[in-house]
Structure 1
Amino acid sequence: MNIKESIETKLQSLQPEFLEVINESHKHNVPKGSESHFKVIIVSEEFQGKMLLARHQMVNKILADELAHSIHALTLNTMTSKEWSDKGGETNNSPPCLGGSSRKQVY
């Protein structure tokens, strides 16, 4: 099972109404075929009444092993059904890559 599939499988524990896991590694300075940068869009009633930080902590706890060993960056979009509907099923783009270790240091 690759990392994307592992994320999808583990996040099923939140009983998502909608789940999309997008490998955004190709947008970064990593080898072709890498699985290190992901965007997760998850819509679940498990988030009802929870602040954004608590939602992200829930996801981070579920993906603790991947975050510790495989994932370098994770963009999370965590919403309830109503929030997803209010946004028209749209999310913000992930922040642009700043180049990682290839970026010139400015002092």
Structure 2
Amino acid sequence: MADGTVKRQIAAKVRQAFAPLRLEVVDDSERHRGHSGYREGGESHFRLTVVSDVFSGKRRVERHRLVNSVLAEELAGPVHALNITALAPEEDSA
């Protein structure tokens, strides 16, 4: 799956669910070579940064639950690990 299919799916679902002001999806799989869940070709470990109004007033655990529910299919299948940074616009320093 080195063609970025999973990465594109993640980005599309997050865009649809959260209308982010900023979105970054990084395939971190190569950093996990030799670790549990690593697959040759990547697309097993991701780092996600999403900034959205949806997260305003919500605690970190609530934000992560929202993201995890949107990406449940990916987390049950090809994605072994997902590092989530979910921010409200006022928290974004980028």
TM-score (normalised: structure 2): 0.86
Aligned to 2:6: 3
Q: How many residues align?
A: 86
Aligned to 1:24: 28
Aligned to 1:55: 63
Aligned to 1:81: 89
Alpha-carbon separation, structure 2, partners of 1:54 and 1:31: 30
Deviations 1:9-28 (A, max 9, x none): 00012010000000000101
CA RMSD of aligned residues (A): 1.2
Residue 31 of structure 1 deviates from its aligned partner by 4.4
From 29, 38, 46, the counterpart of 2:46: 38
Residue 33 of structure 1 deviates from its aligned partner by 2.1
Residue 34 of structure 1 deviates from its aligned partner by 1.3
DSSP 3-state at the match of 2:43 = coil
User: Which residue identity lines up with residue 25 of structure 1 in the other structure?
Assistant: S
Structure 1 unpaired stretches of 5+: 90-107
From 79, 82, 85, the counterpart of 1:71: 79
Deviations 1:36-93 (A, max 9, x none): 0000000000001110000000000000000001111100000011100xxx32xxxx
% same residue: 37
Q: Using CA pairs below 8 Å that are at least 6 residues apart, which structure has the higher relative contact order?
A: 2
TM-score (normalised: structure 1): 0.76
Aligned to 1:99: none
